[in-house]
Amino acid sequence: MRRLVSAALALFGAFLSPALAQQPPQRSECLAMANGAPRAIPAAFRQAAGSAEVQITYAGHSTYFIDTPGGLRIATDYSGAYQVGRLPDIVTMNRAHSTHYSLLPDKRIPHVLHGWVEDGKPAVVSERIGDTFIRNVTTDIRRYFGDDSGTDMIRDGNSIFIFEVAGLCIGHLGHLHHKLDETHFAQIGRLDIVMVPIDGTYTMSLDGVSEITKRLRASVVLPMHRFATPLDEFMHLIGRQFEIDRRSERSFRMSRDALPTTPTVIILDGV
């Protein structure tokens, strides 16, 4: 009897394995739309996304919380120092400084995504968790102060994380240290909302990050990692085509259908 069961399982596996091998890879809607007509969204996709909203909350430094329609809570550049409400379900991290990661996150957080090289291999994130598809684009970072290992940059030490949810493409540039080339922009695709560091020193110059911000052409720009940078200076550099929306609260809600028609910098309380 056992031999019959084993033979049956083996036969079933023989049919199942090719089927699994033929499963399509995870698909990015943001990349698909970026490669198509500008701002074109398949009707079925728009209907599915509808007026579903995400809530975005500024927690501090480079940490934003993204609450999805499906009930997921995502925290960016998570160190554990900036907490708003309940623990996140997903955290992304970058290892430029300890304010952007934790090697000992709360064990109750189910998904911890590192954005740096581990075991000599760049981080590769491309997975669907609940109602959100998460992927990354790696960039290089400068070495820590006092690190005399011989090279100026750590290859693939930072990740730009992209969250695709409710028809929105949300990007977080992380601790970005250099200009992006055409390969980076192609991998990023279209962004509706982008979180950009504007310290002007520890990451990039304001000129450099402003150039990237304009090139990404997102509908909503969220500054972060600001320190004492004058917001008016950043606004001057990105140009008159951007409007400014200063808010006294730390959170706002956004849906695909409610994206501003004029690119807008939203400055939340605490930024």
pLDDT digits (tens, 9 = 90+) for 18-65: 333 333 346 788 987 766 654 444 444 444 445 799 999 999 999 999
**40 vs 102 pLDDT, higher one:** 102
pTM here is 0.83
What are the C-alpha distances in Å from 120 to residues 155, 157, 186? 10, 11, 24
Contact 135, 172 (CB under 8 A): no
Helix (H) or strand (E) holding 162: strand 153-165
- Secondary-structure breakdown of the chain: helix, strand, coil percentages, each rounded to the nearest 5: 25, 30, 45
The answer on pLDDT for 85 being more than 50 is: yes
pLDDT at position 153, please? 82
The values of phi and psi at residue 139, to 5°, are -135, 170
Structure tokens at 212: 């990237």
Taking residue 264's Cβ as centre, other Cβ atoms within 10 Å add up to 17
What are the C-alpha distances in Å from 98 to residues 1, 91, 102, 109? 59, 15, 7, 18
- What is the pLDDT confidence band of residue 151, given thresholds at 50, 70 and 90? low
Taking residue 69's Cβ as centre, other Cβ atoms within 10 Å add up to 18
The answer on pLDDT for 2 being more than 60 is: no
Locate tokens 């990105």: which residue?
Answer: 238
